[in-house]
């Protein structure tokens, strides 16, 4: 029998001893064993910090982003191999699509996030804080990668997505990882991990894997490490209170299974588009991954006058679901991940049966010829008194199991969702935006995510159960109180934010971004004549001056069509801040461009956009304006093809000032600049 190999200290190594036997969830046949016995967790942690971490921290966010993109493309080419083994976890093709391509999609998503980060190994956070009257002393914040290791303890239900969605974030942040997938399905994780390591895309030491028990690894954490856990709330809370984590103040992100709810709005009647959407979405959330999703629906909260219609509609839809071997045509729901999971779900169903009635399904379903497989039918309960019989708000059967319950008012629906004591997600199906607003605002405190589903968004909606990489995935209370992914928020979990103080010139040097008031470098060479590599932060052009006239205002009004009264009607200015006809803000910006732009063809390829713009002081006819034009920040761009022009993005500070020397407008513009 195959023995899975751990990846530790730069090499694949099988654990000692017999290990835990892993089974094909469809056939019940033993397929491999997993053991972590003999691994030295202390050495693995040190290896990650000193080898992988050191290499990642030298890379910029742009380089790390391109690394993730390369890895995503490599895994996408190998995905069919992953699909074939994924069937052994009990998953259908659709289930595996969520797991495999959803995980690869996370890599792509975090690769694209590089556009929001500087071309530096660290991140400059927020805006400069002026801390002195004269402006010679300022403050800022930088975020540097933690010099530790991310320990990911993952659940069995998504052996690919669970690994990839987490390492995408920590690798982009510049922190190495040790991944411990749940043992029951880790044979699929191993297959994907072997492709990752074989690709040589990641720096050595940035990823290690444990297939088997990781008991004892938390004894070796230090304050620079980060621990994430996905699984049961009970186990998560036990790990979170580990003495070593408390002693070292180690960040711990807990994402626990929760009693998620779907609500049918009071406005939705049987026979409407929204009613059909609700039934379709509920069926999907009960049966996808055989209900083994942390975001799967456990409670269906419906208006009391639609209770019977929902039961009939859901029952009819579930009747069309064929349970069986996911490799066979027509099968819509596979098995649970194994016999252990099947036993646990049946025990929870027995608990729920004490206070509510099973109206669909049974506990004795079998698939002919696959009697050893971990199959079960969908199970639906009816709880007619959900405020009194509360087991459905506390007991979770982690399988294709949910409870229908009635409500009278939207406030009642909100209360019922909150009785789950914290959920990853809930959804409401409604065509009434006022009702949606009432529900979302009322229920948000107990939910990490809320989907509002209606006919307008249904075609492109990713659904109740699909967390997205650029949005927070997590929830309060029972759901763990953590936040995974979430775009920049997820990355910040692995960075140390530090306040820095000093002169604008010093902080410009540290942040690699020009800070207002810092020393500027003047040159006889116009900055638009310099290639990307030649430009330095602080390079400044002091332009010629322009006398603003009433004719400028008239001409710009004719050209733009902007005839706002403050520009055109001197008689209408009483009660305003203006003392006369004022120049258009966009004229000032346009005329500033005329002052700083160098017209002949050169390294500047195009104007890339405008990041920010503020009009600070009114400009009246007779004023004289000039521009202090300063190189503020540089962001390298990848060369996508050999034919692609080598280039980068340059951010420029446009400081427009008048004859008093005071700024009248401040803007940041972007240009695309050719490399030499």
Residues involved in catalysis: 255, 294
Our CA angle for 608, 609, 610, nearest 5°, is 150
Our CA angle for 388, 394, 396, nearest 5°, is 130
d(CA 45, CA 513) in angstroms, rounded, equals 35
Local structure of residue 99 (DSSP, 8 states): I
Which helix (H) or strand (E) segment holds residue 98: the answer is none
Spatial neighbors of 542 by CB under 8 A, at least 6 apart, are 522, 626, 627, 628, 629
Spatial neighbors of 516 by CB under 8 A, at least 6 apart, are 128, 135, 504, 653, 655
Length of the chain: 676
Instruction: Please list, residue by residue across 92-130, b when 16 or more beta carbons sit within 10 angstroms of its beta carbon and e when fewer do.
Output: bebbbebbbbbbbbbbbbbbebbeebbbbbbbbbeebee
- Tell me which residue of 177, 242, 260 sits closest to 493, measured CA to CA: 177
Strands 297-303 and 401-407: parallel
- Give one DSSP letter per residue of 160-211, joined into a string: THHHHHHHHHHHHHT--EEEE--GGGHHHHHHHHHHHHHHT-SPTTSEEE--
Spatial neighbors of 614 by CB under 8 A, at least 6 apart, are 665, 666, 667
- Tell me which residue of 179, 121, 146, 165 sits closest to 53, measured CA to CA: 146
Q: At what angle do helices 61-77 and 186-199 cross, to 10 degrees?
A: 120
Record the tokens describing residue 484, joined without a space. 């995974």
Q: Which residues pair with 648 in a beta bridge?
A: 636, 673
Q: In this structure, how many other beta carbons lie within 10 angstroms of the beta carbon of residue 46?
A: 15
Strands 260-264 and 30-34: unpaired
d(CA 606, CA 184) in angstroms, rounded, equals 54
Record the tokens describing residue 194, joined without a space. 């072997």
d(CA 419, CA 343) in angstroms, rounded, equals 26
Local structure of residue 600 (DSSP, 8 states): S
- Tell me which residue of 458, 434, 439, 460 sits closest to 450, measured CA to CA: 439
Signed CA dihedral, 484, 248, 220, 257: sign only: negative
Cα 407 to Cα 175, 306, 380, 410: the distances in Å are 47, 10, 17, 8
Burial class, 576, CB count within 10 angstroms (exposed 0-12 / middle 13-18 / buried 19+): exposed
């Amino acid at each position: 029998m195959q023995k899975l190999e751990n990846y530790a200290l730069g090499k694949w190594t099988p654990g000692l001893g017999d290990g835990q036997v892993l089974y094909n969830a469809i056939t019940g046949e033993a397929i491999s064993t997993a053991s972590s016995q003999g691994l030295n967790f202390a050495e693995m942690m040190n290896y990650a910090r000193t080898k992988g971490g050191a290499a990642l921290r030298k890379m910029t966010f742009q380089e790390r982003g391109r690394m993730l993109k390369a890895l995503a493309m490599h895994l996408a080419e190998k995905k069919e191999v992953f699909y074939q083994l994924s069937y052994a976890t009990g998953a259908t093709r659709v289930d595996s699509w969520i797991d495999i391509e959803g995980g690869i999609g996370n890599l792509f998503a975090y690769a694209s996030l590089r556009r929001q980060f500087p071309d530096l190994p660290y991140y400059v956070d927020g805006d400069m804080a002026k801390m002195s009257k004269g402006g010679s002393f300022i403050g800022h914040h930088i975020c540097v990668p933690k010099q530790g290791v991310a320990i990911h303890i993952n659940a069995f239900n998504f052996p690919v997505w669970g690994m990839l969605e987490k390492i995408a974030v920590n690798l982009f942040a510049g922190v190495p990882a040790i991944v411990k997938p749940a043992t029951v399905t880790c044979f699929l994780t191993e297959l994907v991990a072997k492709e990752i390591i074989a690709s040589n895309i990641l720096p050595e030491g940035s990823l290690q894997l444990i297939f088997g028990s990781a008991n004892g690894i938390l004894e070796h954490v230090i304050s620079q490490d980060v621990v994430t856990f996905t699984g049961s709330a009970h186990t998560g809370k036990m790990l979170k209170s580990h003495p070593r984590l408390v002693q070292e103040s180690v960040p711990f992100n807990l994402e626990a299974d929760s009693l998620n709810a779907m609500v049918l709005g009071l406005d939705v009647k049987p026979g409407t588009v929204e009613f059909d959407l609700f039934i379709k979405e509920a069926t999907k959330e009960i049966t996808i991954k055989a209900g083994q999703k942390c975001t799967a629906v456990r409670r269906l909260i419906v208006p009391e006058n639609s209770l019977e219609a929902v039961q009939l509609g859901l029952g009819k839809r579930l009747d069309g679901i064929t349970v069986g071997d996911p490799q066979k045509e027509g099968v819509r729901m596979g098995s649970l991940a194994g016999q252990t999971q099947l036993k646990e779900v049946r025990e929870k169903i027995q608990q729920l049966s004490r206070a509510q009635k099973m109206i669909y399904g049974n506990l004795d379903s079998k698939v002919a010829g696959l009697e050893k497989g971990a199959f079960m039918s969908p199970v639906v309960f009816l709880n007619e008194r959900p405020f009194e019989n509360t087991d459905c708000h506390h007991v979770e059967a982690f399988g294709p199991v949910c409870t229908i319950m009635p409500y009278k008012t939207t406030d009642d629906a909100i209360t019922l969702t909150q009785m789950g004591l914290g959920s990853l997600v809930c959804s409401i199906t409604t065509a009434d935006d006022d009702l949606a607003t009432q529900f979302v605002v009322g229920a948000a405190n107990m939910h990490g995510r809320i989907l509002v589903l209606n006919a307008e968004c249904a075609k492109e909606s990713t659904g109740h159960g699909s967390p997205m990489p650029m949005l927070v995935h997590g929830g309060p209370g029972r759901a763990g109180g953590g936040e995974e992914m979430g775009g920049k928020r997820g990355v910040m979990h692995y960075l140390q934010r530090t306040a820095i103080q000093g002169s604008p010139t010093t902080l410009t040097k540290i942040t690699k971004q020009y800070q207002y008031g810092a020393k500027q470098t003047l040159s006889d060479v116009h900055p638009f004549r310099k290639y990307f590599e030649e430009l330095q932060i602080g390079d400044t052009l002091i332009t010629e001056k322009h006398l603003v006239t009433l004719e400028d205002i008239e001409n710009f009004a004719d050209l733009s069509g902007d005839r706002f009264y403050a520009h055109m009607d001197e008689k209408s200015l009483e009660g305003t801040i203006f003392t006369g006809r004022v120049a258009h803000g966009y004229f000032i910006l346009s005329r500033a461009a005329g002052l700083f732009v160098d017209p002949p063809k050169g390294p500047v390829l195009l104007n890339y956009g405008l990041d920010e713009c503020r009009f600070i002081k009114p400009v009246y006819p007779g004023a004289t304006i000039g521009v202090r034009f300063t190189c503020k920040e540089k962001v390298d761009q990848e060369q996508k093809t050999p034919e692609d022009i080598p280039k980068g993005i340059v951010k420029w500070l446009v400081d427009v000032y008048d004859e008093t020397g005071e700024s009248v407008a401040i803007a940041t513009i972007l240009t695309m600049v050719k490399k030499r």
